[in-house]
Amino acid sequence: MTTMSRGRMEAFSDGILAIIITVMILKLSPPDELSLNALIAVYPTFLAYVLSYIYIAIYWANHHHLINMVKSVSASLLWRNLFWIFWMSLIPVATEWMGLNPKEKLPTLFYAISLFMCAISYNIVQKEVVKINGEESKVSKNIGKDMKGKISILAYGLAVIFSIFYPIVSYIIFIIIALIWIVPDKRLEKSIKEE
């Protein structure tokens, strides 16, 4: 049985992420009029786009480093990666809905659940890469206990809860997590340099 090459899986993932960003940008509309009020009316959608773009960029950079560390692409890794891509593909819908309804609880809840599941599914992909490479591999040692990832998952879980009661708190959590992850994961960059 032949396995998929690492490059092919990475190219497929990159292509899907590019499509996700394209769909998001196509959903943005300029103000209807040349006035401050018209600009104020569209700024929540623009801010939601910026936040989601940052999230996708963070995932793309870290996924690139992670997949470059995998020895081979197993069927298990392929399906786990597709599961992660599924949750990523919901970001454009969640972004538009939240951007158009920034004070509403349900769109914020949907966005929070989408980000929570993106983090969970990415963690599953990461664990599969460690499993393929072995517990004693450089990638496993450099990822370590992944406290940053675990704290992020916990924070997304809190954002889900807060979105039901106080959506503004969820927005603050989304921004804090994005700021924490804005720089690509140095642990994986270290592994690549050690190879």
Domain regions of the chain by residue span: 6-194
Query: What integer pLDDT is reported at residue 115 of this predicted model?
Result: 98
CB-based burial label for 35 (10 Å; 0-12, 13-18, 19+): exposed
Nearest Cα to 174, choosing from 116, 133, 121? 116
3-state secondary structure 73-132: CCHHHHHHHHHHHHHHHCHHHHHHHHHHCCCCHHHHHHHHHHHHHHHHHHHHHHHHHHHH
**In what helix (H) or strand (E) does residue 187 lie, and over which residues does it extend?**
helix 186-194
Query: What integer pLDDT is reported at residue 98 of this predicted model?
Result: 95
How far is the C-alpha of 180 from the C-alpha of 88, rounded, in Å? 19
Query: What integer pLDDT is reported at residue 83 of this predicted model?
Result: 97
DSSP state of 35: S
pTM of the full structure = 0.88
Query: What integer pLDDT is reported at residue 186 of this predicted model?
Result: 63
Q: Which two tokens stand for residue 20?
A: 């996700």
- Please identify which residue in the block is written with the tokens 């990832």: 149
Q: Which two tokens stand for residue 134?
A: 């072995």
Nearest Cα to 4, choosing from 106, 74, 51? 74
Query: What integer pLDDT is reported at residue 135 of this predicted model?
Result: 78
Low-confidence ranges of the chain (pLDDT < 50): 1-2
